[in-house]
Amino acid sequence: MKGGYTGRVLVVELDSGEISARDYPLAYAEDHLGGFGANNRFFREFSQPGTNPLSPQNPVILGAGPFVGTPVPGASRVMANARLPLTGAVASASGSMGLGANLKWAGWDHLAIRGAAPSPVMLVIEDEKVELVPASGLWGKGILETTRSLWEGYPGFSVLAIGPAGENLAHSSLAMIDACATLGRGGLAAVLGSKNLKAVLVKGNGGVRIADPEGLRKLLRGLFDRLVKYDMRQAAAELGMIGAWPMYAAQLLPYGSSEEELQGVTERFGPSAYLGLKKRRISCPSCFLADKDELLLPSTGETVYSTSFLNAAIIGCALGMRDAEEAASTLALLDDLGLDFMTLSWQAAYLLELREHGILRGREAEGIPLERGAGILRELALRVTERRGEIGDALADGWKGALSLFGEDTRRYTMLVRGQDCLYDPRVSGLGTMEFEQIVSPRGPTSASAGSATYVPGLPEERLHRLTERMGVGKEALERIFSPPWGLNVGRLTRYSEDWFSLFSSLGICNRFQINRFYHAGLIRDLLAAVTGMELSVEEMMSRAAASWELYRELNAGEGLGPEEDRPPEAWFSEKPLWGRGGRLHDYFGNPLTREDVTLLLHDYYDERGQVSNFDTYGGI
């Protein structure tokens, strides 16, 4: 390996305390590029199908691709693989901030964590020095307090930590990196909690070897020239994701809202409201656009961190919160406990639906306030974290627990795929790649694993064609994607959107739209050659990214989670509002879609992957 890779893998056995180093197999880099792809190979090596997600035999694999720790813009992603309890899927999650870069600077490409410690510990890595340190004094503390105290004791370290929700094995728990980047929606924190692992601290004092430093400098000069000329750069730097508020607001408003209601939520949660809380923006290593937030809550003077104020705006709109501070403080509580705001807020909405339909009455709610506002989410967060009461304990076991408690027939008041709540409703946003990928992703609905090329709504077909072409999609495939009767066949396109995400995640590049818009397959191929010395054609590079995604699917097929799980929620085929959303299912261009249309698109997706599918075998959708 000439560059990009350290060539070493760290293996930690928590039960025995044994710590060892092994060589990074060259084939893993050559066949899968690194990061996401190599994580899948390591997971197959270290795991057995059918393993209980909360058993010691479920490994956690962390990995950072060859671009992480280098000056390549936006290359800060660390990937984590584990079987997660919310769905039982082998999931690959991504996080940012300093963990991945420090892992590489410390001399490690991947970290494999196995077994379970007899009592709470934290794993501390500084270059060659690796040790397990008792962490009983941190057990029970929130993520923000834990992270700040560890920064005091271990200055310069990046900290991955779990909160009380993960310690109590809540299936909606997640970990946080440096207190402001999420990792592992679907229960990664519960997996770490089952291992008695409170935190992972990493500090690297080295660097990453580059195969062709001058070639890389030349490529980066051209890339930074484009970044400087980006006409939205100032707005993105000032406002982050909330700078695209008009696009998001149209999707966040309840079904049938008026212009006055739009103005109202804009006043409460839009750019001006954000600027009233903003203290500073926080950037990941090598990123040219800071997208994390440090917020100051005026009423308490408390400072909190957030992966994006947009998340506060989402829960604020969904639950009708009073103002931006109430939404931001509620999100900060969830982050501190280590709970996924997406799943918990949809569980709150589910309870409200049950109340509305007479299934759950106030006297049966165990004191949980069954009304819109911050109260229901804050109370539910504490109950789920502590597994308090029948409802809190059931919802801590995710949607399986909810349906077990309230009845399988209440599924119609949810919007689930593979046991996980949907993030995007194509009745509102249209069936683009993010929306369609919720059906076919092995992990279940995730936030951005297939956003390209339809991440932005309303683009003309010519623009979509250019964006798809930059993803390394060949001429014949382009003709299949942009062809009658759809004009844009989202089933076929999603295959390449997943491969594009696989490429970014294997190399370590952030897939957020404001980053990936500056990359195209030819540039990435050239960067790969400069960083690693690996000379590939675009076709070869993309085929390896595709192989990594196929391995991901194979791992889940081995768990019994194959194409038969690819079922869209029933709510998609009804115009009735659910969780404030509603309308008729339509494609990216606004054309109506039927259940049969979605079945055909699923067939086309598998056809584009070179696989045969017969959804009639599963009773159709």
* 550-608 pLDDT, tens digit each: 999 999 999 999 999 999 999 999 999 888 888 999 999 999 999 999 999 999 999 99
Statement to judge: residues 198 and 235 lie in one domain: no
Q: Is the pLDDT of residue 267 over 70?
A: yes
Distances (CA, A) of 221 to 74, 469, 548: 15, 23, 30
Q: What is the pLDDT of residue 614?
A: 62
Residue 369 lies in a domain: no
Write down which residue in 311, 339, 367 finishes a domain. Answer: 339
Q: What φ, ψ does residue 61 adopt, rounded to 5°? A: -115, 125
Tokens of residue 468, six digits: 């798809």
Cα 209 to Cα 2, 353, 527, 558: the distances in Å are 8, 55, 14, 37
The mean pLDDT value for 380-387 works out to 98
CA atoms within 13 A on the CB side of 346: 21
Residue 603 identity (one-letter amino acid): H
In a domain, 550, yes or no: no
Q: How far is CA 224 from CA 69, 75, 229, 283, 472, in A?
A: 17, 14, 9, 16, 22
Does a structural domain hold residue 469? yes
Residues 99, 184: one domain? yes
Residues 83 and 126 in one domain: yes
In degrees, to the nearest 5, what angle opens at C-alpha 412 toward C-alphas 408 and 413?
Answer: 105
Q: Please give the backbone phi and psi of residue 143, each rounded to the nearest 5 degrees, phi first.
A: -65, -40
In a domain, 209, yes or no: no
Q: What is the pLDDT of residues 503-545, one digit of tens each?
A: 999 999 998 877 888 899 999 999 999 999 999 999 999 999 9
Asked if the structure places residue 335 within a domain, the reply is yes
φ/ψ bin of 229: left (φ > 0), alpha (ψ from -120 to 50), beta (otherwise): alpha
Give kind and range of the element (H or E) at residue 105. helix 99-105
Q: Are residues 427 and 288 in the same domain?
A: no
Q: Does the residue 28 lie in any domain? A: yes
Residue range of the domain that includes 251 = 230-339
> Are both 78 and 182 inside the same structural domain?
yes
| CA–CA distance, 200 with 218 (Å, rounded to integer) | 36
Q: Is residue 391 part of a domain?
A: no
Q: What is the dihedral of CA 63, 69, 75, 79, to 10 degrees?
A: 10
- pLDDT at res. 613: 67
Residue 618 has pLDDT above 50, yes or no: no
125-143: average pLDDT: 98
Q: Are residues 135 and 267 in the same domain?
A: no
Do 21 and 105 share a structural domain? yes
For residues 142 and 251, membership in a common domain is answered with no
SS3 400: helix
Q: Are residues 141 and 54 in the same domain?
A: yes
Percent of the chain residues past pLDDT 90, beyond the cut? 84
Q: What is the pLDDT of residues 18-73, one digit of tens each?
A: 999 999 998 999 999 999 999 999 999 999 999 999 999 999 999 999 999 999 99
Contact yes or no for 81/96 (Cβ under 8 A): no
Selected residue with higher pLDDT from 619 and 253: 253
What pLDDT digit, counting tens, does each position of 482-501 carry?
998 889 999 999 999 999 99
Non-local CB neighbours of 301 within 8 Å, separated by 6+ positions: none
Q: Which of 124, 125, 161, 167 has the alpha carbon at shortest distance from 144?
A: 161
Per the domain annotation, does 541 fall within a domain?
no
CA-CA distance, 380 to 371, in Å (whole number)? 12
Q: Please indicate, yes or no, whether residues 29 and 157 belong to a single structural domain of this protein.
A: yes
Half-sphere exposure of residue 584: CA atoms within 13 angstroms, side-chain side: 6
Q: What CATH number corresponds to the domain at position 123? A: 3.60.9.10
Q: Are residues 272 and 309 in the same domain?
A: yes
- pLDDT tens-digit profile of 292-309? 999 999 999 999 999 999
Give kind and range of the element (H or E) at residue 203: strand 197-203
Given a contact cutoff of 8 angstroms between Cβ atoms, the answer to whether 253 and 261 are in contact is yes
Q: Domain total for the chain?
A: 3
pLDDT score, position 611 = 85
At which of 339, 359, 387 does a domain end? 339
Supply 16's token pair. Answer: 């025995």
Instruction: Please tell me the pTM assigned to this model.
Output: 0.96
Least confident of 110-124, 200-214, 571-585: 571-585
Read off the tokens for 495: 């295959």
Predicted confidence band of residue 448 (pLDDT cuts 50, 70, 90): low
> Which residue, 187, 203, 219, sits at the end of a domain?
203
Same-domain status, 41 and 175: yes
pLDDT value at 244 more than 60: yes
